[in-house]
Structure 1
Amino acid sequence: MSKKFYGNLLLFLTAFIWGTSFVAQVLGGQSSIGPFTFNFSRNMVAGFFLLIIVIPFLSNRDKKANNGVAPAKGDQKTLLLGGISCGLALFFAMTFQQIGIMESTAGKAGFITALYIVIVPLLGVFIGKRVTLKMWACVVIAAIGMYLLSFKSGFDIGKGDILLLICAVLFSVHILVIDHFSPKVDGVKMSCIQFFVAGFFSLVLALVRENVVFANILESAIPILYVGILSSGIGYTLQIVAQKDTDPTVASLILSLESVFAAISGAIYLHERMTPRELLGCAIMMAAIVYAQVPEKRKLGKLN
């Protein structure tokens, strides 16, 4: 099977992990620690989780790939630049998401965050990314499905929702930054760097704006470990690895399934009941994702 298929499969797994993590984030937001302390903790857990994995076998793999020679200095600079860029984008996106989710529901937060399916192709146009008519159709269909899934009636937007909308823009930037750097560097190492960068800036804000108490962090250990290891450590790393072989618009469509998984997990663990309207929204979104995977017929006379 093709690299594209495996890449898309990893993105489906990422969407599942992210969607179920909204429950942990809601629980974390209801705990005695502030949003910046929560984000600092999850990023440090993710960073050290990857570091434990990276050190034992990635160093050996790199030496074998380069016949015992260390990677070129230019590659290290690109890796560092990519990690810092991704880390800054992730830090700002996580900050707005964690603050916004404290004033929203898991399902609604999943929907608004996943609006990057619309924002990614829009931003991509400005940097020369080509988006086909079929992809635009899939984006619109998926957005309709997300609306049915997440909004009970009307279009009520509160303060938390506005923050989550800003978060969606920032996650779109994060996706495009990954699209730029992921083919050039080791994805796991870049992911590890981004977590320590995001964790550092989260700690700075936590020390300035919150009362950081280690005992309170321990009380929230379960949601922090879940989000830190699964959502961040595994989820964001899978995203970076998978996006090497996937178009960013297609990637954003698949990742938008996190809103479906957020609604389902919210219904199971937080008793946020799903209505027939919400189930219809899930079905429409899934249809849009499946349609996006159907290969288009190439016109005769074109090589690409």
Structure 2
Amino acid sequence: MRCSMGYRGGMSRLAANLLLLLTAFMWGSAFVAQSTAMSSVGPLVFTGLRFLIAAACLAPFAWREARRHRGAPVSRAHMGMFVGVGVVFFLGIALQQSALVVTTVTNAGFLTGLYVVMVPFFGAALFRDMPHPAVWPASLASLAGVYLLGGGHMDGLNWGDGMLIICAVFWALHVVLVGRVGMSSGRPLALAFAQFSVVGVLALLPGLVFEGVSLAGIKDIWLELFYTSILSGGFAFTLQIIAQRWTKAADAAIILSAEALFAALCGALILGERLDAMGLVGCGLIFASIVMVQLAPLITRRDRYASPPPGL
């Protein structure tokens, strides 16, 4: 099925993958903000505030989408799927944010990146969505790139690293489910609003009980909240949902792994950090993986434009 460019008519596979690359850039550039915010508030409070703000910012756009579909409101089945995606999303983001308190950035980047190799397996097992053969070597190359980008070594493992491995499972499930549910419902903004709201409520309520919060603490992290809620949160995750309606989950996972690459580049440009030879090789592997999943289907004349996945 060929898809012309445009929100209603569809989107080319290339355009969808470029949106995912933009998403990865915003996620990578926000990694420092997510870490520094932990000095003033707890991980659950930060996550809850971040995604409730994102939901509030997205609400007008979701409302406009709903008005365009007044004759076909979201079904109860799809609303249940939206909530389910939100719960999976919450488990992934909460585990990652909590692990950042006790583990190193190197370990966090590598262990979270395990989702890249999990996505093709979950897609095939759950939905019989067999990826292009190039995805398998590209996944391994991307994972190796993330590892080299982090220095090519792992510091002493702790319980936070175990949390990150579990987190990677939920990230992989989220990537697989977002494309399916987004396409079958035809309501990407409603899905984004629902998942942000679910994450915000599930994180903030226990966060207030177990972590507490003060106005002074929120004031200290207002810049981190602004960037991670509106840009890398609301905007970037919504782009992910829209783009994944028109590309395969396995391809999306590899492209989103460029988050680690962009984090390193932003560190070099903004903080003056420099990559060693091993880090540069890692960047090259991630970039090569992205190019591989983009060009291989065109070379073999398969999937020039990704067909929307069948309904659930």
TM-score range, shorter chain: 0.7 to 0.9
- Determine whether 1:202 maps to 2:232: no
Distance 1:101 1:211, change over 3 A: same
TM-score (norm. length: structure 2): 0.86
- Is contact 2:124-2:130 (8 Å) kept? yes
Deviation at 1:141, TM superposition (A): 1.3
Of residues 297, 300, 303, the one that matches 1:297 is: 300
- Is contact 1:23-1:106 (8 Å) kept? no
Of residues 58, 61, 69, the one that matches 2:65 is: 58
Of residues 43, 53, 58, the one that matches 1:35 is: 43
Alignment partner, residue 13 of structure 1: 22
Secondary structure at 1:131's aligned position in 2?
Answer: coil
Distance in 1 (alpha carbons) for counterparts of 2:293 and 2:277: 24
Distance in 1 (alpha carbons) for counterparts of 2:16 and 2:280: 27
- Determine whether 1:239 maps to 2:240: yes
Distance in 1 (alpha carbons) for counterparts of 2:188 and 2:163: 29
Alignment partner, residue 67 of structure 1: none
Partner amino acid, structure 2, of 1:142:
S
Structure 1 range deviating more: 265-274 or 208-217 = 265-274
Distance in 2 (alpha carbons) for counterparts of 1:284 and 1:113: 17
Secondary structure at 2:130's aligned position in 1?
Answer: coil
Secondary structure at 1:184's aligned position in 2?
Answer: helix
Structure 1 range deviating more: 127-136 or 89-98 = 127-136
- Is contact 2:104-2:155 (8 Å) kept? no
Alignment deviations for residues 46-93 of structure 1 (CA, whole Å, 9 cap, x no partner)? 0001013333x3244335xxxxxx324xx3324412321121011111
- Determine whether 1:24 maps to 2:33: yes
TM alignment of 1:170-181, pairs within 5 A: 170-181=170-181
Distance 1:53 1:278, change over 3 A: same
Distance 1:177 1:95, change over 3 A: same
TM alignment of 1:87-166, pairs within 5 A: 87-106=86-105, 108-127=107-126, 128-153=128-153, 156-166=156-166
Structure 1 range deviating more: 193-202 or 159-168 = 159-168
Alignment partner, residue 288 of structure 1: 289
Distance in 2 (alpha carbons) for counterparts of 1:216 and 1:176: 36
Give structure 1 regions of 4+ aligned residues with deviation exceeding 6 angstroms.
none
Distance in 2 (alpha carbons) for counterparts of 1:86 and 1:193: 9
When the two chains are superposed, the root-mean-square deviation of aligned CA atoms in Å is 2.1
Alignment deviations for residues 211-263 of structure 1 (CA, whole Å, 9 cap, x no partner)? 12233122211101110011110111111100101110001010010011122
Consecutive unaligned residues in structure 2, runs of 5 or more? 6-10, 308-312
Alignment deviations for residues 114-164 of structure 1 (CA, whole Å, 9 cap, x no partner)? 221101112223222213432101111111111111134357533333222
Distance in 2 (alpha carbons) for counterparts of 1:298 and 1:254: 20
% of aligned pairs identical? 33
- The number of aligned residues is 290
- Determine whether 1:263 maps to 2:272: no
Alignment partner, residue 187 of structure 1: 188
Consecutive unaligned residues in structure 1, runs of 5 or more? 64-69
Structure 1 range deviating more: 241-250 or 75-84 = 75-84
